[in-house]
Amino acid sequence: MSDSLGKLFVVISFGESHGRCVGAVVEGCPAGLRLDEKEIQWQLDRRRPVAGRARTPGSTARAEEDRVEIVSGVYNGHTTGAPITMRALNQDVDSSEYEKARFLPRPGHADYTAYIKYGGFNDFRGGGRFSGRITVSFVMAGAVARKLLDRLGIEILAHTIQIGNVEAPKANLKKVRDNAGRNAVHCADPDAAARMVKAIAGARRAGDSLGGAIEGLALNVPAGLGEPMFDTLEGELAKALFAIPAVKAVGFGAGFLAAHSTGSQNNDSFIVRRGRIATTTNNAGGILGGISNGMPIVVRVAIKPTPSIVRPQQTVDLRTITPATIEVRGRHDACIVPRAVVVVESMMAITLCDFALRAGLLPRVIK
Amino acid sequence: MSDSLGKLFVVISFGESHGRCVGAVVEGCPAGLRLDEKEIQWQLDRRRPVAGRARTPGSTARAEEDRVEIVSGVYNGHTTGAPITMRALNQDVDSSEYEKARFLPRPGHADYTAYIKYGGFNDFRGGGRFSGRITVSFVMAGAVARKLLDRLGIEILAHTIQIGNVEAPKANLKKVRDNAGRNAVHCADPDAAARMVKAIAGARRAGDSLGGAIEGLALNVPAGLGEPMFDTLEGELAKALFAIPAVKAVGFGAGFLAAHSTGSQNNDSFIVRRGRIATTTNNAGGILGGISNGMPIVVRVAIKPTPSIVRPQQTVDLRTITPATIEVRGRHDACIVPRAVVVVESMMAITLCDFALRAGLLPRVIK
Amino acid sequence: MSDSLGKLFVVISFGESHGRCVGAVVEGCPAGLRLDEKEIQWQLDRRRPVAGRARTPGSTARAEEDRVEIVSGVYNGHTTGAPITMRALNQDVDSSEYEKARFLPRPGHADYTAYIKYGGFNDFRGGGRFSGRITVSFVMAGAVARKLLDRLGIEILAHTIQIGNVEAPKANLKKVRDNAGRNAVHCADPDAAARMVKAIAGARRAGDSLGGAIEGLALNVPAGLGEPMFDTLEGELAKALFAIPAVKAVGFGAGFLAAHSTGSQNNDSFIVRRGRIATTTNNAGGILGGISNGMPIVVRVAIKPTPSIVRPQQTVDLRTITPATIEVRGRHDACIVPRAVVVVESMMAITLCDFALRAGLLPRVIK
Amino acid sequence: MSDSLGKLFVVISFGESHGRCVGAVVEGCPAGLRLDEKEIQWQLDRRRPVAGRARTPGSTARAEEDRVEIVSGVYNGHTTGAPITMRALNQDVDSSEYEKARFLPRPGHADYTAYIKYGGFNDFRGGGRFSGRITVSFVMAGAVARKLLDRLGIEILAHTIQIGNVEAPKANLKKVRDNAGRNAVHCADPDAAARMVKAIAGARRAGDSLGGAIEGLALNVPAGLGEPMFDTLEGELAKALFAIPAVKAVGFGAGFLAAHSTGSQNNDSFIVRRGRIATTTNNAGGILGGISNGMPIVVRVAIKPTPSIVRPQQTVDLRTITPATIEVRGRHDACIVPRAVVVVESMMAITLCDFALRAGLLPRVIK
């Protein structure tokens, strides 16, 4: 069965963490889009442990170049309308730790569920298909989607709003644009960013890890995207975001806070702003009845702490069904939130691009 | 484009709030399942404003019988393997208020987004396709799914955990089973239930409305359900749950709280319990790597307060793009949370049934 | 699993020959299309045994009115963008013969394969889902598709080119347009039509039945419809046409004759005609590389003789797996070719409408 | 939009004739299947111009090795349940002829339709996505499907039954098995094979080309495969077969001859053979009501003559819309029928494998 994403802009992910490569196939991209490897590489580089000048704190020591290679679907610098295949070779692979622990599932990881589902035939090395490394393929596809959204003036932004117990103050759009790219944790508030860095360092020293939360924003999304019944904009965005390993909750606009408020507080009044219909507040997160209303799409995701921690943990030996202890070594991030920011953006871009195509907003050939 | 749910167990919803009927088509149900209208009716009755003895507080005065009629796919009391079409006629329809307010979108409702998406051709009466009444079709399909899950020993339960600022204390499974069906708000804690009823009554008196939260549980789900990449169990459950009007957030296990914890707190250790692999805690909500791990599936959804409130609200006249005021009359629930409980169960059942079929757990013919 | 047709214009068929009704759900129809029951009824009437003045020769004595009822998706005489549900009640049902022969599969019918597939739970009365009566749902959906194609100037026509050994001479488009609607067998050549009528009458007298062939034409189809790899225009048209019970072969343009010719004979040279690119001949049937080239789409389908014949036939008792004899009574057409003509048109219309939507040729809202 | 094949066993094709590679992604293959590159290579080699000892007559001078490389989804010699990516690099590429003729569409080729569909952005070199070379990806996927069908005892065979005007006499199964692999044209009759070879040589000398026909057989297919309405076994097989470039007609069992026969001739009587239900004749080609009946699946496809011929042909200059002449040089087969035999088998295998999975005949994990 296909385990792909999207209906008109379709993304397939292939490859394994310690196999030959990880990659993506994108079907449904209009012909004529200018696309080169540099643009995709730029997004991939944002996902790497060392982002910009600052090295992402607490990130894995695995040093992958993640060099993207376009394998098909692009000719003379433009998309051809054919499936776009992209991949990055795996280079810095050390599977030794995994071989040892093959039958000792790591708590919080997919080792156990993968073992059950695939009868032990899954490529378990480095987490195989369940590794965070697989998100390289999401970012590749997201980079193509963003190029298409650019043409519609749709902008996608994400930023870290929480790491462990450090919560960033509510930031306006200008702050997000100006600051989130300037620190290693992609936080819109420089002070909070500094505290987040410290918190991660502390967790790492303690052999522990931290979770956090990311806010994603989509600006200039036209009203009318989303289907009324099952393929709602919320539903499809949530599905895409839950594909990111470690995401455990997704809320739109007021999110879980909506449960506490009253209708008179929560309803966003309609007004006319610069000749166009808008709302006073945005508790709906830009979505009413599963369909975009022209306001910014606002989504928040919770990311659980990295399950790999440098402490003995209780597990079960799958061969004997007896208790066992495991110490996860390998090379891991003490907090993956900062690196997930670009992944959140990528999933939003893929989903919105799919809906833009469904709504007929993009031509079949771009000229 | 198809706006259906599921890949092997496929649900289509049709009909409008004030049209002739609302209904569902279910494709992919194995042949040979005993099914009669009474069993579906029993679930539909749980969704009605008067649930059991107690009338659901603050619920709409619209008195629909919601009498299900099986139109196709069942012969001699068993499913035939053909599409199962079910419908309930609309009887108690009063569209007068809607005609008046056709061009004045109600804040918090889908009037505006539907108008934009369908160019004003949508059947706006009673909210049309965006009415809570459409969930009748979800419950119909869910009733079929539950019959199939019964065969696998999978049990689905939901209960109200919050209404407005009243939060129920954490309840164990026994309390949920014993109490949630005994009060009008479907809460596992009788005291909290009483306070929730009061809170709703207060909101109604104030011409306002309340939101809340529901917890859904799926028990005895075998390990191995869910796809590793995009069709994760979390993603598909979330997508199904966001199809319920007013759901604005979905979290699994620890949910948003996972953002606050550390890896050593959040990881669920593997243990052997009665000869089978289990986990000590269940912060993962029964899902690791997008795949069920054999522990209970635990999901929480936030439901926004009913947007229909008896107060003048600010809106925009769609004909002139000028400010206007609207007073929503119609007949509405001051809090839809209690009625949404069976809908949450239905969406969980549909999704799990789809995954059970994907995993090959159900035969093509039931004997 | 969904057994639907189309990707953007999606058709679901439900109902059984002797159940309560047969019907269709159409998803993906743009909002704002004028649609009333009369237009659908007009196409349904073309499928009935009595077509126009002349009663279709050799057709069943079952007298169904096939009165279409639009159940959802249309408001104020226009489509709303929601699923369009249509159905026709079954009225003139006599299931007595079928009950008797439940375990004696009729040669040439689906009785045996349905029994195996559904373990005997299928609604076998009147052939259930495998009855020619199910094509009522195809014609309903086709009627909606034709309305959309009308807007693009695409015309769909089919005519009978063979019944038994009577083959009609090659007819030009004018003859098809003028004559095919004027005789009971829908043949473009009046002389051949008369001989076909005779042949059917002869077969009926002999307690036998006849097959035949139909040619379908789609005119003014713009170049560019069809996908390059698997969803070719030929492949999708063929799939839709093979859904018609009794179709056993499908060929495009030269069809099977292409096997006999040489490249220099078979290639259609490109020329300029009235300022546009055309081809001198049309051996390709309007399709190159799976994509329409702007020339008429020409497809021929072979229809096997009605399997129901009034003669003792050899079969096997499914309870005992021992030889048995069956005499099919019921009420049947001695030749279904004439009634299949509108069904061929319907399947072509549905498929082309789906591709027109894929190509972005139709707006989401029709104004 | 996805242009993939299959619902549970899903095949995606990527790559271009003169790009870096051609390849396939297979999703839905159960875990635990032994699979190595040699087995795939063996099928690929059957497609190459030099098949076995005899060089396929009239085949292209392009000498591709078509060396398959498994990129993902296989670990330790077994499938892992993850997407299987395979590819073959393009090596012997000479695009010079194509550059010259970019705006002069070759008659019978997809140059014109691709140009229209993709606005000239398609990779036209060597026919790009429309090249027969793309069938390398079909054979790769087919090789995986065959391995799965092997486990069910299903055997797939195809053989050439016609080239130009040389038609092979009807062959029994033994002859097909014994002879078809022994001559360069894959014909079950050695005499006819010799005449076919001559006919191809004659066409080549004349600067012309030939079409032909292939018969595909699937043996030991269990009864019950296929869906009743739209995803019929005939419909899905036809769709898969029409994906092969140059296929213009598809018929099952009696095929187009069914149009000529009567019900009493065409009906296949049911009998008991070795304790199992069978039919006396097989005019149905093993399919009744769209569902397999346990008899051999028999399908015949017509293949048009290769459009590339060494003669001046009439075309139109796409830049000026004025008449022009083109002489196709490049390197082409004078008859592709022999090389298409393994491709026909591959498409049958893919489709039957998909239906076997739909019917639950294959486990999720093979042990």
Beta strand segments in chain A, E: 10-15, 21-27, 68-72, 74-75, 78-79, 84-89, 155-163, 166-167, 212-219, 247-252, 270-273, 276-279, 287-288, 291-292, 297-303, 312-317, 322-327
Q: Which chain B residue shows the shortest CA-CA distance from A282?
A: B108
Neighbours of D109 (CB within 10 A): 21
Mean pLDDT of A278-304: 98
Beta carbons of C80 and B121 less than 8 Å apart = yes
For residue B52, the model assigns a pLDDT of 37
Residues B92-117 have pLDDT tens digits of 777 777 777 889 999 999 999 999 99
Give the range among A9-18, B319-328, C97-106, D239-248 with minimum mean pLDDT. Answer: C97-106
Residues B14-32 have pLDDT tens digits of 999 999 999 999 999 999 9
Tell me which chain B residues have a C-beta less than 8 angstroms from the C-beta of A262.
164, 203, 208-211, 305, 309
Residues D212-224 have pLDDT tens digits of 999 999 999 999 9
For residue B58, the model assigns a pLDDT of 64
Beta carbons of A360 and C359 less than 8 Å apart = no
The answer to whether residue A75 neighbours chain D at the CB level (below 8 Å) is: yes
Q: Which overall architecture, per CATH, does domain A10-358 show?
A: 4-Layer Sandwich (3.60)
Give chain C's mean pLDDT: 94
Tell me which chain D residues have a C-beta less than 8 angstroms from the C-beta of A78.
121
Pick from B20, B37, B79, B80 the residue to mutate for testing the C interface (most C CBs within 10 Å): B80
Give one DSSP letter per residue of C132-159, joined into a string: GGGHHHHHHHHHHHHHHHHHTT-EEEEE
Q: Which chain A residue shows the shortest CA-CA distance from B128?
A: A228
Tell me which chain C residues have a C-beta less than 8 angstroms from the C-beta of B15.
71-72, 85
Q: Which residues of chain A from 158 to 217 reach within 8 Å of chain B, CB to CB?
A: 162, 164-165, 203, 208-213
For residue B60, the model assigns a pLDDT of 63
Decide if pLDDT at B81 tops 60: yes
Decide if pLDDT at D54 tops 50: no
Decide if pLDDT at D71 tops 80: yes
Could you tell me whether strands A21-27 and A78-79 are parallel, antiparallel, or unpaired per DSSP bridges? unpaired
Decide if pLDDT at C52 tops 70: no
Beta carbons of A228 and B130 less than 8 Å apart = yes
The answer to whether residue A228 neighbours chain C at the CB level (below 8 Å) is: yes
Residues B125-137 have pLDDT tens digits of 989 999 999 999 9
Neighbours of C324 (CB within 10 A): 18
- Whole-angstrom CA distances from A139 to A87, A144, A347, B307, D5 are 11, 9, 8, 37, 26
The answer to whether residue C38 neighbours chain B at the CB level (below 8 Å) is: no
Could you tell me whether strands D84-89 and D212-219 are parallel, antiparallel, or unpaired per DSSP bridges? unpaired
Give the whole-angstrom CA distance, residue A98 versus residue A114.
14
For residue B57, the model assigns a pLDDT of 67
- pLDDT category of residue B206 using cuts at 50, 70 and 90: very high
Q: What are phi and psi of D96, to 5 degrees?
A: -60, -45
The answer to whether residue B10 neighbours chain C at the CB level (below 8 Å) is: yes
The answer to whether residue A359 neighbours chain C at the CB level (below 8 Å) is: yes
Residues B171-203 have pLDDT tens digits of 999 999 999 999 999 999 999 999 999 999 999
Q: Which chain A residue shows the shortest CA-CA distance from C228?
A: A82
The answer to whether residue D2 neighbours chain B at the CB level (below 8 Å) is: no
- What is the ipTM, given to two decimal places? 0.96
- Among A82, A85, A76, residue whose Cα is nearest residue A35: A76
Give the whole-angstrom CA distance, residue A258 versus residue A240.
22
For residue B171, the model assigns a pLDDT of 94
Decide if pLDDT at B62 tops 70: no
Beta carbons of A82 and C228 less than 8 Å apart = yes
Could you tell me whether strands D212-219 and C78-79 are parallel, antiparallel, or unpaired per DSSP bridges? unpaired
**Nearest CA-CA distance, residue D286 and chain A, Å:** 26
For residue A297, the model assigns a pLDDT of 98
Q: What are phi and psi of D331, to 5 degrees?
A: -130, 115
- Among B168, B143, B157, B122, residue whose Cα is nearest residue B42: B143
Residues D107-129 have pLDDT tens digits of 999 999 999 999 999 999 989 99
Of A83, A117, A128, the CB nearest to D12: A83
For residue D29, the model assigns a pLDDT of 98
Residues C311-320 have pLDDT tens digits of 999 999 999 9
Decide if pLDDT at B59 tops 70: no
Let me know: does D210 contact D65? Beta carbons within 8 Å.
Answer: no
Q: Which residues of chain B from 15 to 34 reach within 8 Å of chain C, CB to CB?
A: 15-16, 19-21, 23, 25, 27-28, 31-32
Tell me which chain B residues have a C-beta less than 8 angstroms from the C-beta of D359.
364
Give chain B's mean pLDDT: 94
The answer to whether residue C71 neighbours chain D at the CB level (below 8 Å) is: no
For residue D53, the model assigns a pLDDT of 37
Decide if pLDDT at A331 tops 80: no
The answer to whether residue C259 neighbours chain B at the CB level (below 8 Å) is: no
Mean pLDDT of C248-261: 97
Q: Which chain C residue shows the shortest CA-CA distance from B122?
A: C80
Residues D313-351 have pLDDT tens digits of 999 999 999 999 998 776 678 999 999 999 999 999 999
For residue D201, the model assigns a pLDDT of 95
Tell me which chain A residues have a C-beta less than 8 angstroms from the C-beta of B277.
112, 316, 318, 321
Give the whole-angstrom CA distance, residue B104 versus residue A44.
46
For residue C1, the model assigns a pLDDT of 84
Neighbours of C310 (CB within 10 A): 17
For residue D329, the model assigns a pLDDT of 73
Pick from B4, B26, B262, B277 the residue to mutate for testing the A interface (most A CBs within 10 Å): B262
